[in-house]
Amino acid sequence: MGSSTYIAEEELAHLQKLSGEYQPEVTGPLVGERQSSSAITTEYANADPVYRTKTAALPSKYSHYRTCRGDGHCGWRAIAFTYYEALLRLGDKNRFLEEETRLRSLHNLLNTIGFQEHLYEDFADECFELLRKTAASVPAADESAAASLLVSFNDEALSMAIITYFKLLTSAWIQTHANDFQPFLLDQDIREYCATQIEPSICEIDHVGMSALAEVLVKPAGFALEVLYLDRSPGEEINTYHFDPLGHDGLPIPNPPMLRLLYRPGHYDILYKMEDIHIPQAAPIHVALAGYADEFVPVGRGMSDVMTLIPGMYPTGLGQNWPAVSYDYQPTAIPQPQMAAVPTYAPVPVSTTQDYVSHVNPTIPVESPIGMSINSPMTIERGGPFRPSMYELEPGFHSGQSHSLPFQTSIFRNSHYNTAHFLNPDFQPEEWTPDSEYVTSNRSRNKSSSQ
Amino acid sequence: MSSSSRAQSPAKRLQSELKTYQSEPNDALVELGPVGDSELTHWTAVMKGVPGTAYEGGRWKLDIRIPPTYPNAPPDIKFVTRICHPNVNFKTGEICLDLLKTTWTPIYTLSTTLTAIHQLLTSAEPDSPLNVDIAQLFRQGDYVGAEALIRFYTETERWEGR
């Protein structure tokens, strides 16, 4: 009996060893390309209703996302990558140098904890080297700098070095601020916690680690961290957790650059809002919008309808009906807030019916131009971007279409942009037709009742 | 792009570790260093016994293989000299230590890792055994028998140099 127990134990030990060494196959790039977040919605189309509801509302707020490989480092890597990316987005070379100096000053903490300088300096050097390299690429075009950062982060050794460095900083921060973190660790010894939950090279970030990393890396850089927890907890919205930076005066910094993560149990990905994608620098607006249109329009939607929603954009193909385009934007330009406040996306379809995808997609173009009109450096002035040019007002345009065009607003009607106005260079008196009279009066009645 | 410079990363690190070991030797070790000048990723070490324990007076040779991803991945360390210990495989010399697997962190060096293995000699965990015979003695509380067995192997298997 004794010997058979031994064999069983040896077998068990063997099985234990096998299961301990089992590594699930992970594929994909360490950090992926940015893609439309409607892919997340599609991914959950057949999932649990709670997930469906929560992800259905996601693309209207977070337009894009980026995957991280689920190799056990994704949370650390996602924060590290977005940290570099946020610095790059600021587009200020000096910020990189400031950050390097600040991180170097934290080496005192590392030494206090007993990390040996000759061991961590290799990792720190990799981190600083990438900071300098990224800083050097700032003057270049945005796309190539971002692409080069992506390549760097897909270098396993380099990104591991940066992750290791950030882990050591986090560990040192936790140990030097034991009073802040001990309550969250119950009875666990803080040194032991760091040795088993923070420092090991294969060890995913937990909430305590993330708070500490936000304290040591993200907040002092003036960035805010936002984590969306997508889980099966009841509710229709994805739970969001914020780590907000404080300025030197101890007050929250208004509108800090955001690092956004999407957490699904056991995994982190990176999220973007539409406003994160644009460069806030005062680049010529046409360049920025063209870049947006070429690169980020989700496949499967015609480009034209997106373009029409961008104020000031009227591609030549749409020249014929540009006045109609400008009408769409009168509500945002002139004070008629109730018009802007009732876009079609307001009742976000949270129903669990199967056709919700078709509800979601139309929300994107409606949402995005509103966000852009608020955030883009160009403010819409009356007459500014809508000034007619010889290209839009072709002769054939009036003779063919002027009568059928629905001139709805009284402001346009009484302005000299109206061809029926006597100051208009292409003055053309309005002709009475029973049909248009009927349509116009009907519309004006609607309008007056809504006001 | 940078893979060529990265490939030297373990070499650079190992050289700095070797220099550090030479200036600050490890009390638990008789020697530690690369097998040959040409091969920096294959080291060997000789460990001392722990005075006042059943491992007193022992000498064990260890074989250290360093993966190309070191220090992000742990080194592969095995006992060459046979040792009677609940967490070491008697035949293969494989060591069961979480530091060498799950809790490895890049700030450990080969020297500090060997210190951890040295500490394992006196803090065995018979509940996750690789040597079932000695672990069973521990678990049954037969400390006299266990100590006798360990002393026997410590003496008979002692590493006597090359």
Kindly provide the ipTM of the predicted complex, given to two decimals.
Answer: 0.80
Average pLDDT, chain A: 72
CB burial class (10 A; 0-12, 13-18, 19+) of residue A29? middle
Which residue on chain B is closest to A120 by alpha carbon? B107
pLDDT of amino acid B15: 87
pLDDT of amino acid A104: 92
Question: Which amino acid, one-letter code, is at A79?
Answer: I
The residue behind tokens 């780590």 is A243
pLDDT greater than 80 at residue B78: yes
Judge contact between A259 and A82, C-beta under 8 A: yes
Pairwise CA distance, residues B39 & B62, whole Å: 16
Average pLDDT, chain B: 86
pLDDT of amino acid B76: 93
For residue B87, give its domain range: 3-116+125-156
CB burial class (10 A; 0-12, 13-18, 19+) of residue A13? middle
Domains in chain B, number:
1
* B130 vs A contacts (CB less than 8 Å): 13
Pairwise CA distance, residues A132 & A125, whole Å: 10
Range 37-66 of B in CB contact (< 8 A) with A: none
In this structure, what DSSP letter does residue A431 have?
Answer: -
Reported confidence tier of residue A101, pLDDT bands at 50, 70, 90: very high
Give the tokens for residue A167. 């882990």
Question: Which amino acid, one-letter code, is at A133?
Answer: K
Give the tokens for residue A316. 């030549």
Of A440 and B144, the one with more pLDDT: B144
* Interface check A115 vs B, CB under 8 A: yes
Handedness of CA A364, A301, A259, A232 (dihedral sign): positive
* B73 vs A contacts (CB less than 8 Å): 201
CA atoms within 13 A on the CB side of A157: 18
**What does the pLDDT average to over A163-184?**
90
The residue behind tokens 């996601």 is A58
pLDDT greater than 70 at residue A403: no
Cα dihedral A33, A238, A184, A116, rounded to 10, equals: 10
Judge contact between A202 and B103, C-beta under 8 A: no
Judge contact between A167 and A159, C-beta under 8 A: no
Is B84 one of the annotated active-site residues of the chain? no
Percent of chain A with pLDDT over 70: 63
Q: Using CB atoms, which residue from A156, A164, A195 is nearest to B106?
A: A164
Reported confidence tier of residue A448, pLDDT bands at 50, 70, 90: very low
Any idea where the domains of chain A sit in the sequence?
Answer: 31-277, 301-392, 405-451
pLDDT greater than 50 at residue A356: no
Give the tokens for residue B101. 């697997």
pLDDT greater than 60 at residue B80: yes
pLDDT of amino acid A286: 46
pLDDT greater than 70 at residue A355: no
How far, CA to CA in Å, does A7 sit from each of A4, B69, B84, B95, B138? 5, 36, 19, 20, 18
* Interface check B12 vs A, CB under 8 A: yes
Handedness of CA A311, A317, A323, A327 (dihedral sign): negative
CA angle A381, A384, A385 (to 5 degrees): 110
Nearest-CA neighbor of B162 among B40, B36, B24?
Answer: B36
Does residue B162 sit within a domain?
Answer: no
* Interface check B4 vs A, CB under 8 A: no
Please indicate whether, in this complex, the C-beta atoms of A119 and B103 are within 8 angstroms of each other: no
Please indicate whether, in this complex, the C-beta atoms of B102 and A157 are within 8 angstroms of each other: no
Nearest CA of chain B to the CA of A271: how many Å? 27
Among A11-25, A230-244, B9-23, B26-40, the range scoring the smallest mean pLDDT is A11-25
Does residue B161 sit within a domain?
Answer: no
* Interface check A199 vs B, CB under 8 A: yes
pLDDT greater than 70 at residue A151: yes
Question: Which amino acid, one-letter code, is at A37?
Answer: S
pLDDT of amino acid B124: 84
Does residue B56 sit within a domain?
Answer: yes
Judge contact between A52 and A356, C-beta under 8 A: yes
Please give the CATH superfamily to which domain A31-277 belongs.
Answer: Peptidase C65 Otubain, subdomain 2 (1.20.1300.20)
Pairwise CA distance, residues B60 & A419, whole Å: 99
Pairwise CA distance, residues A109 & A121, whole Å: 13
How far, CA to CA in Å, does A270 sit from each of A85, A112, A303, A373, A396? 11, 33, 26, 25, 50
Contacts of A316 (CB under 8 A, 6+ apart): A391
CA angle A226, A231, A232 (to 5 degrees): 150
In this structure, what DSSP letter does residue A234 have?
Answer: S
Among A79-93, A186-200, A265-279, B135-149, the range scoring the smallest mean pLDDT is A265-279
Helix or strand holding residue A40 (H, E): helix A38-43
Does residue B33 sit within a domain?
Answer: yes
Pairwise CA distance, residues A78 & A33, whole Å: 13
**What does the pLDDT average to over B17-39?**
88
Phi-psi region of A363 (alpha: psi -120 to 50; beta: other; left: phi over 0): alpha
Please indicate whether, in this complex, the C-beta atoms of A155 and B105 are within 8 angstroms of each other: no
Out of A22-31, A152-161, A327-336, A417-426, the most confident range is: A152-161
Q: Which alpha helices (DSSP H) does chain B contain, by range?
A: 3-7, 9-23, 110-122, 132-139, 143-156
**In the beta sheet, which residues pair with residue B62?**
B45, B79
pLDDT greater than 60 at residue A244: yes
3-class secondary-structure state, position A251: coil
**What does the pLDDT average to over A230-244?**
83
pLDDT greater than 60 at residue A444: no
**What does the pLDDT average to over A101-107?**
92
Which residue on chain A is closest to B94 by alpha carbon? A17
Which residue on chain A is closest to B105 by alpha carbon? A200
In this structure, what DSSP letter does residue A298 have?
Answer: P
Cβ atoms within 10 Å of A392's Cβ, excluding its own: 19
Please indicate whether, in this complex, the C-beta atoms of B1 and A157 are within 8 angstroms of each other: no
Give the tokens for residue A152. 């760097």
Q: CATH number for the domain including B43?
A: 3.10.110.10
For A205-225, the pLDDT digits (tens) are: 888 899 999 999 998 888 999
Among A3-17, A356-370, B98-112, the range scoring the smallest mean pLDDT is A356-370
Q: Active site residue: B47, B64, B96, B110, which one?
A: B96
For A16-50, the pLDDT digits (tens) are: 877 777 666 667 788 888 888 888 888 888 878 88
* Interface check A117 vs B, CB under 8 A: no
Question: Which amino acid, one-letter code, is at A97?
Answer: L
**What does the pLDDT average to over A382-396?**
55
**In the beta sheet, which residues pair with residue A243?**
A225
Nearest-CA neighbor of B32 among B62, B56, B10?
Answer: B62
pLDDT greater than 80 at residue A335: no
Judge contact between A102 and A217, C-beta under 8 A: no
Reported confidence tier of residue A392, pLDDT bands at 50, 70, 90: low
Strands (E), A28-145: 31-36, 64-68
Cβ atoms within 10 Å of A45's Cβ, excluding its own: 13
Pairwise CA distance, residues A222 & B109, whole Å: 35
Please indicate whether, in this complex, the C-beta atoms of A123 and B6 are within 8 angstroms of each other: no
Contacts of A214 (CB under 8 A, 6+ apart): A225, A243
Give the tokens for residue B47. 């460990």
DSSP calls for A114-161: T--HHHHHHHHHHHHHHHHHHHHTTTS-HHHHHHHHHHHHT-HHHHHH
* Interface check B78 vs A, CB under 8 A: no
Give the tokens for residue B142. 């037969």
Give the tokens for residue A359. 């509800």
Helix or strand holding residue B96 (H, E): none
Reported confidence tier of residue A280, pLDDT bands at 50, 70, 90: very low
Best residue in B105, B127, B140 to probe A by mutation, most A CBs within 10 Å?
B105
Reported confidence tier of residue A103, pLDDT bands at 50, 70, 90: very high
Among A243-247, A256-260, A301-305, B47-51, the range scoring the smallest mean pLDDT is A301-305
Among A77-86, A309-318, A431-440, the range scoring the smallest mean pLDDT is A309-318
Chain centroid to CA A149: 17
For A300-328, the pLDDT digits (tens) are: 444 555 555 666 655 444 444 444 444 44
Contacts of A244 (CB under 8 A, 6+ apart): A219, A224, A252, A253, A256
* Interface check A186 vs B, CB under 8 A: no
The residue behind tokens 């916690």 is A193
Question: Which amino acid, one-letter code, is at B102?
Answer: T
How far, CA to CA in Å, does B35 sit from each of A78, A292, B43, B64, B113? 40, 58, 5, 9, 18
Range 58-97 of A in CB contact (< 8 A) with B: none
